[in-house]
């Protein structure tokens, strides 16, 4: 049996991968359920407003009553809950070395997952959302693939060992520690020197008669925008903002440019 | 029931619905009650227009050809699932192979067209569907050849506990969903309250449920509440300003005193 270390730890790599599959799907559905219970955004949780999404989908098909979105969401939540319960049950059985039970529970979890994503895909066709169709088809496939990997690893009897020598282990640790230190220093340094970009106003550069360019830093958000406008108004009391033109993505230099906008003004009478 | 039967049935159901609904989407070309779908005719017209073929006969013929291939796909999947439900596994497998083969041929044609029309995102999308189809065939075959295990899960004590826990969590989640819906559904029809962020500039955080009617109500309410202000300009905040993903849309209204 293939093992990670030759010492006391006798867990096989096959078992580790199977644990990973069970933990992944259990957490996947648990967090989906938590997202539905919370609903909107809270401190430490943004999530996705599924009610708004469902409501907009059904409204686009002429079904504007919130009861329909509620009903669809409850059905989806029910499927997700049972997928979570069976994956977690499978994980518990696997932990207790009850491999056959774990396999049966996992299959039921997979069935709930496949049903959920099949229904979602049908919805994507009806509501014409091709991106979500691709997303749900990929998840459907991942569930199917997880099942095959899970049962394949059940039968697989690998013989090679994954022994790591002490010298290699030490070498890898030293390189890793050095890289972690270099990365951490760089990140903390960047935070110290550039976090002000998250809050400080940006200077508007005059590029033509009554036209000013504002090039946002990547960290800029609505606070920077508001402070920039305030600063511009204070520095140009004789100018009136006529309109703001946001440079579309097509005119930006790929990822090198963040948000760019022009303030078009006119002289105050 | 055999495990392989469950998995193979899931594969057939998914792809039968996938192609059946794709065909239906071509039969219903526009937005109707209970059906939104995608306007493929408009998409094809734009694609061929970009090549300089502005006569609508070109996209019409192309769409008719694609639809015909999709119908063939759907019929193959349908025959496969019908044979499968009659336990004629060999026939089901033969039809499934034909269906997968014609589907990957269609996605190959789509991919060629994506390259011609320069649509890299659709190329990725069609490439992924192509891959998933091939993988579906491999999984279908693999399971049929190697796995004859029966699903062994009776209504034992731990299954009863799982069903009870699942029911309780479903009830809690459902109550939470309905409560959230009750609290936020008013956003569909209520004006958004503005906040003066700079002298004469008001910010509106539009919720996810808001649409054009909310926009109209918001502006009319704002004008009513501020009779001494003239609206000079309305600026829709681009997505870069809305980094937290908590808000659906940011709107700034620039005003001056009358």
């962020």: which residue's tokens? B197
pLDDT tens-digit map of A44-80:
898 988 999 999 999 999 999 999 999 999 999 999 9
Task: Specify the pTM.
Answer: 0.91
Cα–Cα distance between A200 and A214 in angstroms, integer? 13
pLDDT tens-digit map of A187-218:
999 999 999 988 999 999 999 999 999 998 88
Proportion of chain B above pLDDT 90, given as a percent:
81
Per-domain boundaries in chain B:
3-146, 188-257
Q: Measured between CA atoms, how close is A89 to chain B, in angstroms?
A: 8
Give the model's confidence band at B258: pLDDT under 50 very low, under 70 low, under 90 confident, else very high. Answer: confident
pLDDT at residue B153 greater than cutoff 90: no
Least reliable range by pLDDT among A8-17, A89-98, B117-126: A8-17
Q: Measured between CA atoms, how close is A125 to chain B, in angstroms?
A: 6
What average pLDDT does range A146-165 have in this prediction?
Answer: 76
Query: For an interface test with A, which of B1, B170, B233 has the most A Cβ atoms less than 10 Å from its Cβ?
Result: B170
Residue A205 DSSP class: E
Query: Phi/psi at B252 (nearest 5 deg)?
Result: -115, 130
Per-domain boundaries in chain A:
13-155, 198-267
pLDDT tens-digit map of B132-142:
999 999 999 87
CB contact under 8 A, A81 and B176: no
Token duo for residue B223: 């004008």
Query: In this predicted complex, what is the ipTM?
Result: 0.92
Q: What does DSSP say about strands B249-257 and B201-206: parallel, antiparallel, or unpaired?
A: antiparallel
Query: For an interface test with A, which of B16, B32, B36 has the most A Cβ atoms less than 10 Å from its Cβ?
Result: B36
CB contact under 8 A, B34 and A36: no
Which pLDDT score is estimated for A41? 84
Chain B 104-143, residues with CB within 8 Å of chain A CB atoms? 125, 128-129, 132, 135-136, 139, 142-143
What integer best gives the mean pLDDT of chain A? 91
For residue A220, CA distances in Å to A226, B154, B241, B247 come to 10, 58, 7, 16
């Amino acid at each position: 049996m293939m093992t990670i270390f030759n010492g006391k730890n006798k867990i096989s790599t096959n078992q580790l991968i199977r644990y990973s599959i069970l933990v992944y799907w259990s957490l996947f559905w648990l967090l989906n359920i938590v997202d539905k219970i919370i609903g909107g955004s809270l401190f430490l949780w943004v999530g996705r407003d599924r009610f708004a999404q469902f409501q907009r989908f059904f409204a686009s098909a002429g079904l504007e009553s919130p009861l329909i979105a509620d009903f669809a969401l409850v059905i989806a939540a029910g499927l997700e809950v049972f997928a979570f319960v069976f994956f977690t049950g499978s994980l518990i059985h696997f932990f207790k070395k009850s491999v056959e039970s774990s396999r049966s529970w996992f299959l039921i979890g997979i069935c709930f997952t496949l049903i959920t994503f099949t229904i979602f895909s049908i919805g994507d066709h009806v509501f014409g959302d091709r991106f979500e169709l691709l997303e749900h088809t990929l998840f459907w496939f991942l569930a199917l693939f997880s099942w095959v990997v899970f049962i394949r690893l059940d039968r697989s009897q690998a013989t090679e060992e994954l022994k790591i020598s002490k010298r290699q282990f030490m070498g890898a640790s030293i390189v890793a520690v050095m890289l972690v230190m270099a990365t951490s220093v760089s990140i903390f340094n960047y935070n110290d020197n550039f976090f002000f970009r998250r809050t400080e106003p940006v200077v508007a550069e005059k590029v033509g008669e009554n036209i000013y360019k504002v090039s946002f830093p990547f960290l800029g958000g609505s606070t920077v925008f508001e402070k920039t406008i305030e600063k511009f108004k204070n520095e140009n009391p004789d100018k009136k903002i006529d309109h703001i033109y946001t440079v579309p993505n097509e005119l930006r230099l790929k990822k090198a440019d963040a948000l760019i906008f022009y303030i078009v003004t006119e002289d105050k009478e | 029931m055999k495990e392989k039967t469950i998995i193979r049935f899931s594969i057939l159901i998914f792809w039968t619905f996938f192609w059946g609904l794709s065909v239906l989407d071509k039969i219903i070309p526009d937005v109707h009650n209970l059906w939104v779908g995608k306007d493929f005719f408009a998409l094809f017209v734009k694609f061929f227009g970009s090549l300089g073929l502005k006569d609508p006969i070109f996209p019409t013929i192309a769409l008719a050809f694609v639809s015909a291939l999709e119908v063939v796909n759907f019929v193959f999947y349908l025959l496969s699932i019908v044979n499968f439900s009659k336990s004629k596994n060999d026939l089901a497998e033969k039809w499934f192979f034909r269906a997968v083969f014609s589907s990957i041929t269609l996605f190959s044609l789509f991919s060629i067209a994506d390259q011609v029309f320069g649509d890299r995102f659709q190329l990725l999308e069609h490439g992924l569907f192509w891959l998933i189809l091939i993988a579906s065939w491999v999984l279908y075959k693999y399971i049929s050849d190697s796995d004859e295990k029966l699903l062994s899960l009776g209504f034992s004590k731990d299954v009863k506990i799982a069903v009870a826990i699942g029911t309780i969590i479903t009830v809690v989640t459902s109550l939470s969903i309905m409560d959230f819906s009750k609290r936020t559904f008013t956003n569909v029809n209520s004006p958004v309250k503005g906040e003066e962020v700079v002298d004469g500039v008001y910010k509106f955080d539009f919720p996810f449920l808001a649409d054009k009617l909310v926009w109209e109500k918001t502006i009319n309410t704002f004008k009513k509440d501020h009779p001494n202000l003239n609206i000079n300009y309305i600026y829709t905040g681009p997505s870069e300003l809305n980094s937290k993903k908590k808000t659906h849309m940011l709107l700034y209204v620039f005003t001056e005193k009358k």
